[in-house]
Chain A
Amino acid sequence: QSALTQPASVSGSPGQSLTISCTGTRSTFGTYNFVSWYQQHPDKAPKLVIYEATKRPSGVSYRFSGSMSDNTASLTISGLQAEDEADYYCCSYAGVDTFWVFGGGTKLTVL
């Protein structure tokens, strides 16, 4: 069982917006906003798409955005495209005792 809880699967049609949630506790998120999100296509390594809960790395599509409220982090993908079909994982730096914890992953299907 993961320290961060994500829905197992989500789906949407091309062009739609879709949000994936990541629920934790105060201990898993701590007083930090060091939440990151990763996209993983089949047989590929994960790729960073959001860091510090809301920031997008250079080269990542503007269609990816992150937010944080209380003990839930969210990843929103707007203008859904076929290439967005992948697994998505949230991750939190939980401090010097626990370090990093991951969510169980969400499979995104583009209908």
Chain B
Amino acid sequence: QVQLQESGPGLVKPSETLSLTCIVSGDSVRTSVSYWSWIRQSPGKRLEWIGYFYYSGTTNYNPSLKSRVTVSVDESKNQISLKLSSVTAADTAMYYCVRGAGWNYAFDYWGQGSLVTVSS
């Protein structure tokens, strides 16, 4: 059974960098044919795909966030990380770590989510 567990600060100041990590168990971030993704959900409940790390090493990001986002992995810890720079109140959301199946492009496993509020 694949499990994902996010962690990180719940409060970030405007203009600073949001950093989250996700521990993966039951699968490998470097051998599983999967798109290890971050998805966020705004307070208004809108879902937005942020970006992914593909097992081969490729990363790709939502064009609307591309200039501010970095997704990376730590293979030794089987962990995925998200960095989002220059945050504003509009980045306040629940952030989910998610596995995207490489064979059908569906998000089949989700973490429980990490709520991040951007406020001074």
Q: How far is the CA of A105 from the CA of B42 in the complex (A)?
A: 12
* Chain B residues with CB below 8 A from A98, complex form: 63
Interface pair B47/A34, CB less than 8 Å apart: no
Interface size class of A (residues with CB under 8 A): 20 to 34
Is the beta-carbon distance between A45 and B108 smaller than 8 angstroms?
Answer: no
Interface string of A68-92 (1 = CB under 8 A from B): 0000000000000000000101010
**Residue numbers in A under 8 Å from B96 (CB-CB):** 45-46
**Does B104 lie at the interface of the complex (its beta carbon under 8 Å from any beta carbon of A)?**
yes
Taking CB atoms, residues of chain A closer than 8 Å to B101 are 51
A62 to B108, CA, bound (A): 17
In the complex the two chains form, is B106's CB within 8 Å of A51's CB? yes
Residues B105 and A47 in contact, CB atoms below 8 Å apart: no
Q: Which of B47, B105, B106, B110 contacts A105 (CB 8 A)?
A: B47
A40 to B106, CA, bound (A): 15
What are 25 A-B residue pairs whose CB atoms fall within 8 Å in the complex?
Answer: A2-B46, A34-B105, A34-B106, A36-B104, A36-B105, A45-B111, A45-B112, A46-B107, A46-B110, A47-B110, A48-B107, A51-B104, A51-B106, A51-B108, A52-B104, A52-B106, A87-B45, A91-B47, A93-B105, A96-B60, A97-B63, A99-B52, A99-B60, A100-B100, A102-B48
Residues of B at under 8 Å CB distance from A? 45-49, 52, 60, 62-63, 96, 100-101, 104-108, 110-113
Q: Contact residues of A with B, CB < 8 Å?
A: 2, 32, 34, 36, 38, 45-48, 51-52, 55, 57, 87, 89, 91, 93, 96-102, 104-105
